[in-house]
């Protein structure tokens, strides 16, 4: 039996989810104007986390500073991120997916893979099932998704990146030549800016050029990544694009930026956003974690991760964030980054919490702060309260706080 995978990707997730909230409050739909989700638009260090189609046409890019975005698009409407609301939308989407298959692998807050192998009798043919899934998400939750269909996760993900929004695309092995090989090599999954430059210097400009190249030549010029690039160009998922270490006792979130992140200050701003959603999900599930990890993927597709053991369990945003910042600075090597991820592992139920030897009045205040913010957001919406650090710079101050916290607990590896 041939394997069948769906890759579901929310169209402009943060922007779409914030737009739904705006419409519910009687305000203009962000999807129809030049808009972005990010920090304070007056801050030189706030970054664009998501942008609308009109903002994109004006040259606004995900990951760039809001100061820069404002110069390109003076009329840009900027709203702060609402991570608890995003998590709720993500959970609701996953819940619908689980009506289609028990095998759902969440790839990020706005992406998931579905193993639909053998589900035809229950859900219909792949295209029919995908249409049902896409329609349910749109009708019940109010946002659109793209769905890619293929025999492996790599090709399903590539297919979901074809024409957007609100589309379904197939990319089966026999369709690779016609649908994928004509694309610029930079659109191949995992190929960053420096790899594109290296391939262009070798005379390879399309995915098809790479697919038909001598694999030994690619390996000699690019190292081990040459094998992966050649395999991916031929639709072979030789290096899994989703890792199986994600378990029920681990909570994570990651974001692939639209352009390279070149400074740790930019990365830290995004890291806080990710930590908010990770900690919020743990609190919703009544879990606390004892390990924090940060993952970076650079523009050459090199992945590296650092983690630390806290010595106690927590779901407090600030404590997870401060340790994550320390990890990020410890591993930062000035290479441009395309993916940033944070996770909290070895999570346990709150009733089994291992108390820290360093539990103090400050930690208790942080817990109360999270509880108060959760309560306010639940009653009045996620925008009712936003952390000050999401509205401004997350540079050296965040690092010093992290270093101070790391002295209280956290064996960094």
CA distances (Å), 209 to each of 184, 202, 301, in order? Answer: 9, 10, 19
**Nearest in space to 114 (alpha carbons), one of 132, 93, 100, 127:** 100
Q: DSSP assignment of 343-361, as one string?
A: EEES-EEGGG----TT--H
Whole-number Å distance between alpha carbons of 217 and 221: 6
- CATH classification number, 251-412, choose in 3.10.129.10, 3.30.430.20, 1.10.760.10, 3.30.1490.100: 3.30.1490.100
Q: Report the pLDDT value the prediction gives residue 133, as an integer from 0 to 100.
A: 98
* Torsion, CA 366, CA 367, CA 368, CA 372, rounded to 10: 100
What is the maximal distance between C-alpha atoms in the chain? 63
DSSP state for residue 206 in the 8-state scheme: B
Q: Confirm if 152 and 5 have CB atoms less than 8 A apart.
A: yes
Residues, the chain = 413
Mean pLDDT by 10 residues, the chain (413 residues): 93 93 94 87 67 93 84 92 84 94 87 94 95 98 97 97 96 97 94 88 97 95 91 93 59 76 83 83 84 87 87 89 92 86 86 44 53 52 48 39 37 44
Can you read off the two tokens belonging to residue 305? 């991760």
The segment(s) of the chain belonging to CATH 3.30.1490.100 are: 251-412
* Torsion, CA 279, CA 283, CA 286, CA 291, rounded to 10: 20
Whole-number Å distance between alpha carbons of 337 and 62: 13
What interhelical angle do 317-331 and 361-380 show, nearest 10? 110
Domain 181-233 has CATH 1.10.10.10: no
Q: Report the pLDDT value the prediction gives residue 359, as an integer from 0 to 100.
A: 45
The segment(s) of the chain belonging to CATH 1.10.150.20 are: 181-233
pTM of the predicted structure, to 2 decimals: 0.69
The residues carrying an active-site annotation are 111
Q: Which CATH class is domain 1-178?
A: alpha beta
DSSP state for residue 310 in the 8-state scheme: E
């Amino acid at each position: 039996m041939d394997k069948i995978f769906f890759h579901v990707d929310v169209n402009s997730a943060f922007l779409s989810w914030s737009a739904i909230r705006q419409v519910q409050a009687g305000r203009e739909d962000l999807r129809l104007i030049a808009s972005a989700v990010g920090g304070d638009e007056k801050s030189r260090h706030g970054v664009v986390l998501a942008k609308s189609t009109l903002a994109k046409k004006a040259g606004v890019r995900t990951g760039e500073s809001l100061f820069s975005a404002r110069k390109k698009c003076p009329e840009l409407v900027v709203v702060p991120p609402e991570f608890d609301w995003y998590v709720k939308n993500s959970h609701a989407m996953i819940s619908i997916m689980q009506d289609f298959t028990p095998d759902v692998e969440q790839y990020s807050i706005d992406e998931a893979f579905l193993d639909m192998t053998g589900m035809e009798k229950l859900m219909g043919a792949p295209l029919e099932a995908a249409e049902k899934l896409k329609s349910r998400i749109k009708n019940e939750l109010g946002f659109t998704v793209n769905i890619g269909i293929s025999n492996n996760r790599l090709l399903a993900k590539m297919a979901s990146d074809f024409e957007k929004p609100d589309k379904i695309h197939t990319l089966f092995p026999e369709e690779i030549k016609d649908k994928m090989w004509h694309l610029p090599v930079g659109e191949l999954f995992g190929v960053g800016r420096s790899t594109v430059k290296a391939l262009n210097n070798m005379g390879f400009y399309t995915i098809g050029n790479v697919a038909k190249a001598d694999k030994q030549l690619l390996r000699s010029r690019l190292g081990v990544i040459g094998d992966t690039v050649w395999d991916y160009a031929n639709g072979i998922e030789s290096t899994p694009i989703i890792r199986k270490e994600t378990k029920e006792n681990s909570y994570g979130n990651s974001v692939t930026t639209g352009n390279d992140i070149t400074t740790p200050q930019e990365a830290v701003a995004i890291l806080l956003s990710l930590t908010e959603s990770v900690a919020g999900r743990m609190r919703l599930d009544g879990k606390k974690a004892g390990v924090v990890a940060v993952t970076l993927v650079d523009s050459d597709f090199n992945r590296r991760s650092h983690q630390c053991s806290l010595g106690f369990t927590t779901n407090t945003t600030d404590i997870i964030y401060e340790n994550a910042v320390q990890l990020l600075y410890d591993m930062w090597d000035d290479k441009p980054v395309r993916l940033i991820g944070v996770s909290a592992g070895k999570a346990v139920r709150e009733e089994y919490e291992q108390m820290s030897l360093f539990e103090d009045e400050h930690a208790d205040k942080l817990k109360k702060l999270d509880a108060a913010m959760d309560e306010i957001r639940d009653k009045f919406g996620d925008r009712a309260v936003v952390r000050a650090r999401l509205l401004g710079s997350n540079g050296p101050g965040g690092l010093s706080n992290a270093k101070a916290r790391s002295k209280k607990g956290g064996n960094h590896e």
